Amino acid sequence: MKTASLINQFILAVWFILFISYVPTAIAQDAQKKLKEAKGLNIGDVIDNFQATDQYGKTFDLYHKLQEGPLVIVFYRGQWCPVCNRHLSILQDSLQFIFAHGAGLIAVSPEKTEYLEMTAKITHAEYPLLHDNGYKISKTFDVAFVPNKATSTMYNSALKADLKNAHSDKTQQLPIPATYILSKEGKIVWRHFNPDYKQRAPVSALLDALDQLK
């Protein structure tokens, strides 16, 4: 009986070691998606509140901002991305039209605050640029993915992205540069989602969508 008890204890110990080593790996694999696996949230989905730090070091609170009206949320990759910078600059030039529709605008990136400041200087963005610490916001919207090794190497070498240091961890995850509009209730009422990073939401489409909320 004593021998059987020892054997059972040994089996349980082995099982426990295997379990605790497997679970973090399984969670990490589930959390880190490939480009084709990220599908983005859909119209009708409701977003829970979140907070993030902007380029000025101030705390942004989603639900507090939504009290002012609908909100346009843009995901972008970083200050190293020419397509992102061009898109953010266009949004800045069109900011008065977005405000005229009673809406606000934020842009979300995995880059830390000092890199957000660089983006603001390049694009002249006066709206909040948010640091997506731990990719929590992009994962909430299901737009986060891990680029393949060749792509991340190219970004880091040719475009000087420095993803491992610019982000909150070393996984080098990026957001699909999607655009969403939230109603005052936090519900998604419009989206532009395209895995092709060159395809961005036209301002005209944004304004048409905001017209429908009046």
**CATH number of the domain where residue 185 is located:** 3.40.30.10
Which residue's entry shows tokens 């209730």?
A: 185
Does 66 lie in the same domain as 81? Answer: yes
pLDDT value at residue 55:
97
Residue type at 151?
Answer: T
pLDDT value at residue 214:
78
Q: How far is 127 from 140, CA to CA, in rounded Å?
A: 21
pTM to 2 decimal places: 0.85
Does 176 lie in the same domain as 78? Answer: yes
pLDDT value at residue 171:
97
Does 167 lie in the same domain as 124? Answer: yes
Domain extent for 15 = 1-31
List 141's β-bridge partners, or say none: none
Does 112 lie in the same domain as 18? Answer: no
Residues 116-155 as b or e (16 or more Cβ within 10 Å = b): bbbbbebbebebbbbbbbebebbbebbbbbbbeeeebeeb
Structure tokens at 108: 């979300």
Does 128 lie in the same domain as 53? Answer: yes
Regions in the chain scoring below 70 on pLDDT: 1-31
pLDDT value at residue 107:
98
